Structure 1
Amino acid sequence: MITWLRIGFVVVSLAAVTLVLLPLQVVGLAFDLRLRRYVPRYWHRAACRLLGIRIHVHGKSEPRRPLMLAANHASWKDILVLGAIADVAFIAKSEVADWPVFGLLAKLQKTIFVAREQKRQAGRQVNEIAERMKAGEVVVLFPEGTTSDGNRVLEIKSSLFGAAAAAVPQVPGNVVHVQPVAIAYTRVHGMAMGRYHRPIAAWPGDIELVPHLIGVLKAQAIDVDISFGQTIEFRAGDNRKLLSAAVAAQIRRMLLARLRGREA
């Protein structure tokens, strides 16, 4: 009974926060005001607090611009935690735009939707990413291309860094700063979250959303560690495969360290 009362409280509270912030975001989007960049941060912080997601940040986000954050991807909650600590714009596959609830939220945050299989749209999408970075926005890329089980980093797809490569000639200084970020779900109810319990936090995609969401709400307290790695300067002529290998190595090292309770 208490669990369902809590779920009801979270749903009602999150709806109330959304109703308060939604008009501001709609106006910001309509007139392309700067407030559209930071209003989502307040929503994500409220969502994390209500869901019981406690965020621990290690290191600092790169202050130089243009900046692309490259992070491992375990769950839809990655969006919440990254959005709660920084004003960011996400790059997502085009199918996300049609997802119920999440698609609407993504559009409200002005997510950059990429249709990977439609090469005709590639130029327009790359130009949008470049323009957003030129304007000082921090762009987040999940280079695995899909979600994992939270215990490991999947193969990093170098092709997904094509946006960074294509943006280089269009941005100030002809350099894109790429910073690896590791997202590690480490504890539940204050206790170490082993491989068996990590599905509470991770959402590989073959698990139905509603039961998974109820499981998160029942957990009440999930700790996530966000580790910022060493920034890599990507310039014209640099090799995307070398970039992806360097990013993967850093993310794997930081993720493994946090899952083992060590310093990265």
Structure 2
Amino acid sequence: MKLFLFISFYSILLLVNTILYLLEKSLFINDLTLKIRVKTLSIICKILCWVLGVKSNIDKKNHEYPCLIVSNHLSYLDILIISSNYNCSFVGSIDQVKQDLFFGYIAKISGCIFVDRKDKRKIKSEMINISEKLEKVSVCIFPEATTSNGEIVLKFNSSFFQVSLNNKKNINLLTLNYKSIDNEPVSVKNRDYVFYYGKHVFFEHFLKFLKLKTIKVDINDKLISSNSKDRKELAELSYKIINDSYQSI
């Protein structure tokens, strides 16, 4: 039943945002329907979280719209959780999309931005693309540039913090703390049911995840100003705040 409901609502999102995406392309107007697609993504993600038994609790919502959202990264579930609570686009890696076509295509048509972390020559054009999106909707980045096993928050890559400075947009810092899995505290023993890292294979992991009943997540939300000297200083401050509020496994 859970798989059927997930596929049903996923298909609705796929259909609606594909139509909007193709309409936009046929009119040769970039991001004409971006806000609608991002809103549709948020609504469906809310429903999918309910279907999957994912419950999130936000300490205090400080969202400023639009802004740059920065979060730690543990699982593909992070996107569902963040999108269900905040209307935003996401920045993801091209490599991740190739590995995960299931979510990759839906991310593309829903207004997400893909970057090639291996080719530094593309950074300028990628920054322009993100900046253009940020003028219309909030954009979420995962500066760890990968998922972790939950033991630590990995050091932040500072590159895309420059967008916040260029656009003069404040930063919404989110710390995701997965608290329990089927009413058991998240630990080294059960984290692999939810955390997606290393050599995990998506479909194998997802099918195991579907067997779970409830996942509870706490979100620490803090808004900071982008009035910093440079992107590295901004990245260091963001890392400190998120790392300090993260509860390691």
User: Which category of TM-score, normalised to the shorter sequence, fits these structures?
Assistant: 0.7 to 0.9
Distance 1:22 1:105, change over 3 A: closer
* 1:104 to 2:105 alignment: yes
Question: Taking structure 1 as reference, are residues 229 and 97 closer, same or farther at Cα in structure 2, changes over 3 Å only?
Answer: same
* SS state at 1:184 partner: strand
- CA-to-partner distance for each residue in 1:112-138, whole Å, 9 max, x for gaps? 111123344322211111111112x11
- Assess, with a 3 A threshold, how the Cα gap between structure 1 residues 211 and 21 changes in structure 2: closer, same or farther: closer
> TM-score of the superposition, structure 1-length normalised?
0.83
Secondary structure of 1:159's aligned partner? coil
Match of 1:10 in 2: 2
Corresponding residue for residue 219 of structure 2: 226
Given that 2:172 and 2:223 are in contact with CA atoms closer than 8 Å, whether structure 1 keeps it comes out as yes
Secondary structure of the corresponding residue to residue 169 of structure 2 = strand
**What per-residue deviation string (whole Å, max 9, x for no partner) do you get for residues 76-117 of structure 1?**
110110011111100111223323212112112221111123
Report if aligned partners of 2:59, 2:221 keep a CA contact under 8 Å in 1: yes
| Aligned residue-pair number | 239
Contact 2:70 2:141 in 1 (8 A): yes
What displacement does 1:249 show? 1.0
Question: Which amino acid is the alignment partner of residue 243 of structure 2?
Answer: R
Map of 1:6 onto structure 2: none
2:202 to 209, 221, 242: 209
Q: What residue is the counterpart of 1:57 in the other structure? A: 58
Task: Map 1:157-196; keep pairs closer than 5 Å.
Answer: 157-165=157-165, 168=166, 171=167, 175-196=168-189
Q: CA deviation at 1:64?
A: 4.9
Q: Please name the residue that 1:5 is paired with.
A: none
Task: Tell me, yes or no, if the aligned pair for 2:164 and 2:226 is still in contact at 8 Å.
Answer: no
The aligned counterpart of 1:4 is none
Residue by residue over 1:193-247, the C-alpha shift from the partner in whole angstroms, topping out at 9 and shown as x without a partner, is: 2233222221113222233212211222111111112323245xx2222211111
Return the TM-score normalized by structure 2.
Answer: 0.87
The percent identity for this pair of structures is: 22
Which structure has the greater CA radius of gyration?
Answer: 1
Q: Distance in 1 between matches of 2:147 and 2:106?
A: 19
Q: 1:246 to 1:161 in 2, by over 3 A?
A: same
1:184–1:225 CA contact under 8 A, matched in 2: yes
1:22 has 2:14 as partner: yes
Q: Residues 163 and 116 of structure 1: is their aligned pair in 2 closer, same or farther, counting only changes over 3 Å?
A: farther
Q: Distance in 2 between matches of 1:142 and 1:163?
A: 14
2 CA distance for matches of 1:97 and 1:189? Answer: 29
